[in-house]
Amino acid sequence: LRAQVRARGGDRQPAGRDSVQRNIEYMFGIVGIPVTEIAIAAQAVGIKYVGMRNEQAACYAASAVGYLTGRPGVCLVVSGPGFLHALGGIANATINCWPLIVIGGSSDRNQETMGAFQEFPQAVRTSMYGRPGSCYIDIPGDFVNLQVNKSSVKYVECCLPPPISMAEHSAVSKAASVIALSKQPLLIVGKGAAYSHAENNIRKLVELCGLPFLPTPMAKGVVPDNHPNCVAAARSMALQHADVIILLGARLNWILHFGLPPRYRQDVKVIQIDICAEELGNNVMPAATLLGDINAVTQQELALQKSLPMNYYTVFHHIRELIPKDCILVSEGANTMDIGRTMLPNFYPRQRLDAGTFGTMGVGLGFAIAAAMVARDRTPGRRVICIEGDSAFGFSGMELETICRYNLPILIIVVNNNGIYTGLDANSWEEMLKFGDPATCVPPVSLLPNAHYEKIMSAFGGKGYFVKTPEELQNALKASVSDKQTPSLINVMIDPQSERKKQEFPWLTRSNL
Ligand code: ADP
Ligand code: MG
């Protein structure tokens, strides 16, 4: 090391080959014989050295750097008491799954047998790859002060960032179906999720599936605490009533009451996502285990969810995100109106028109036409958005001609489940027809599957969109909200069996009101 320092003229260098290639930026410690030169050498190659007052605090600091940056922090200690003091930090990092390298100096090699300095890059890898944790390097004293020729210094290549592992496809689809069948799902976000930088994908998953979520203490902020789906305020209630729990980088240890009753339902189904195989199945028998990097696995789950038919919650989530706050909302239908009441907020008075006291279906288009006429005269530019179930739309669908004749820029969204309350998908419809005349064998609640209501709108010169995926829905919403001249209709196909979620989660109603 001295040779290295000398070879470089002892100059302080900007984070040079060593530190940059190994991406080690910070060292915390307390120097003494024989490690003082190590701190000097570290500084010489651009590593920031912070001298602390106790090795324990130094070790905590180095491990937190590992958590925050994803590259291990280094803790430098002397042998004996220095190392002993660091043990608290080592244990803490190991249990927290945070990458950490502890470098200690021991007596010379002729006094004991120790590993070689060239093990350094392996140590970096060991601390970061797989489940992150701490590792220890002991540098013999005579090694620190060894004189070597510059030409004999070997530089070892930096290890690559941890390889990204993905879960088995069958496990991903198993998890998707368990989530789809859940009545009261709960996503638990742990610090592993924070460490893997999975925030964007987790947020998307929360919103796409309408999942309530609970952060563990250090996972707070992965999805912001003020997100409407955050149930932290009702933690015990959420844990107790969830029928499916998705564990994203959190262990079922004491912090989560071991996943056992009475804090959880006896029959709770747990979907576990973790990078450490040994963690899977700890304390509970999981319904699905996804072994892999949280960010990558969440993305796999997202891709799968996106290809599934949408449900009411997904549709209303996107509508809520993309419509103007001051629009006039007209709504009718059974599930469409009921779920829309909790999912679509109003911010101003007299801007909500629905089936009313009489529970009348077929009022929507008339109401929307009136609202658009009044808005045109009194509050120009204010949009009217009419959200209809497919059955409700049928009662007055021909008013689309009126809307186009008067060129009223109303946006009509038909939430289409092929039926009244629930419907049949095209395949089941075909199956039913095999039994004979539709009048005798098709359930009275079903309407024609995949009816293209948007074509009625385009027939009259307005814009029609047929959408099946969240992405298509977002694009159609953006296009029709920004077009303030033309009437439009978005026909949104959802899962014909999609239903209202049980309302026993108080936050589902409370937070969305
Ligand atoms: P909390 O204290 O927030 O509940 P834990 O420390 O119990 O979190 O759990 C963190 C989990 O995250 C560990 O089981 C660890 O193996 C896992 N983990 C760490 N990094 C990743 C990653 N990149 N991908 C998947 N799992 C990870
Ligand atoms: Mg319907």
Amino acid letter for position 59 = C
* Residue pLDDT tens, the chain, 513 long: 333 333 333 333 444 444 446 689 999 999 998 899 999 999 999 999 999 999 999 999 999 999 999 999 999 999 888 999 999 999 999 999 999 999 998 777 665 544 444 445 568 888 999 999 998 888 888 888 888 898 988 777 888 899 999 999 999 999 998 998 888 999 999 999 999 999 999 999 998 888 999 999 999 999 999 998 999 999 999 999 999 999 999 999 999 999 999 999 999 999 999 999 999 999 999 999 999 999 999 999 998 887 778 888 889 989 998 999 999 999 999 999 988 998 899 999 999 999 999 999 999 999 999 999 999 999 999 999 999 999 999 999 999 999 999 999 999 999 999 999 889 999 999 998 898 888 988 899 999 999 999 999 999 999 999 999 988 999 999 999 999 999 999 999 999 987 765 545 444 443 333
Report the separation in Å between the CA atom of 356 and the middle of ligand 2, taken as the mean of its atom positions.
18
- Ligand 1 site, residue 255, Cβ cutoff 6 A: yes
Token digits for 487? 């009437």
- Ligand 1 site, residue 99, Cβ cutoff 6 A: no
- Ligand 1 site, residue 259, Cβ cutoff 6 A: no
In ligand 1, the atom with minimum distance to the C-alpha of 219 is 3
Q: How high is the pLDDT of residue 137?
A: 86
> Is-contact 265 242, C-beta < 8 A?
yes
Residue 319, judged by CB atoms within 10 A of its CB (0-12, 13-18, 19+), counts as buried
Give the residue from 73, 192, 50 showing the smallest Cα distance to 123.
73
Give the residue from 211, 252, 255 showing the smallest Cα distance to 230.
211
Cα distance between residue 353 and residue 280, in whole Å: 50
- Residue 210 Ramachandran class (φ > 0 left, ψ -120 to 50 alpha, else beta): left
* The model's pTM: 0.72
Report the separation in Å between the CA atom of 84 and the middle of ligand 1, taken as the mean of its atom positions.
27
Nearest-CA residue for atom 22 of ligand 1: 293
The 3-state DSSP class for residue 157 equals: coil
Ligand nearest to the CA of 272: 1
Q: How high is the pLDDT of residue 194?
A: 97
Report the separation in Å between the CA atom of 268 and the middle of ligand 1, taken as the mean of its atom positions.
21
Give CA angle at 371 (365, 372), nearest 5°.
Answer: 90
> Is-contact 272 297, C-beta < 8 A?
no
In ligand 1, the atom with minimum distance to the C-alpha of 190 is 3
> Is-contact 397 455, C-beta < 8 A?
no
Cα distance between residue 276 and residue 130, in whole Å: 7
- Ligand 1 site, residue 383, Cβ cutoff 6 A: no
- Ligand 1 site, residue 274, Cβ cutoff 6 A: yes
Q: How high is the pLDDT of residue 110?
A: 64
- Ligand 1 site, residue 276, Cβ cutoff 6 A: yes
Residue to probe by mutation, ligand 1, list 69, 71, 97, most atoms within 8 Å of CB: 97
Nearest-CA residue for atom 5 of ligand 1: 250
If one counts every other C-beta atom within 10 angstroms of the C-beta of residue 91, the result is 12
